[in-house]
Amino acid sequence: MGLAVAGPVGVIGGAALGPLIAEVFHKVGIEISEKYLGIRETIRVGATYSLAINKIEKEIKDGKTPRSDDFYKSKNGDRSNAETILEGTLLKARNEYEEKKIKYYSNFLANLNLNESISFEKGNTLLKIIEQLSYRQLVVLAYFETIESLNLNNWMISFTRKEELGINQDFYSELMDLYNRQLLQQAGNGISMSITALKISPFGTTMYWLLNLNEINIDESNSIQETINEINKYI
């Protein structure tokens, strides 16, 4: 995996990535590989790097095309947006202790290089959020994409008053964190002080598809439903 980072020019150049993507991956890969990486960090970066390349190759072979905007262009001597995002993603993957998230960093990279509707600014914001989310929160987003909404009536007051729910306080906290990050939103018309139902937001749906969270194992998504069922016993 470590050798995949800044792989030989012939290898990257021969990949079906398109010349601009290949140039960016090779250049940034070399820069990252020349910095100190521990064994575990090398594996994380190498996995993210190589999985992204493989996904881009597959998507291009299936008919998708690389971005044709100015994503790969340097301006006023600065690095291109593509280089900046790639380095940022690899560095965040390097420090990611929840290694199940590595696959989704690579999906993020691949899809960003193939979807010019995602601006550099939005991609950068999403990357910062991805780093701060737990893997379970990614699973929660995948779960919300499959349902119309989740009824939270009386959840807030119950978590405040019922000690039995203390064992699931971490789950409720993660749910509210997704809401505060605007990846989930209140269901129904208008916004109330008390959240009675949640659904995935347009921003959350963008995150879902950019990370291909549909690839999350169905058993992990089912575990979210099991936790919700357990909570509802005490509501």
Tens of pLDDT along 89-101?
999 999 999 999 9
Tens of pLDDT along 19-32?
788 888 878 877 77
What's the confidence (pLDDT) of residue 18?
Answer: 73
What's the confidence (pLDDT) of residue 146?
Answer: 95
What's the confidence (pLDDT) of residue 23?
Answer: 83
What's the confidence (pLDDT) of residue 62?
Answer: 94
What's the confidence (pLDDT) of residue 177?
Answer: 98
- Residues 171-194 as b/e (b if ≥16 CB within 10 A, e otherwise) read bbebbbbbbebebbbbbeeeeeee
Cα–Cα separations (whole angstroms), residue 217 to 21, 29, 80, 142: 30, 30, 35, 10
Residues of the chain with pLDDT under 50: 1-11, 13-14
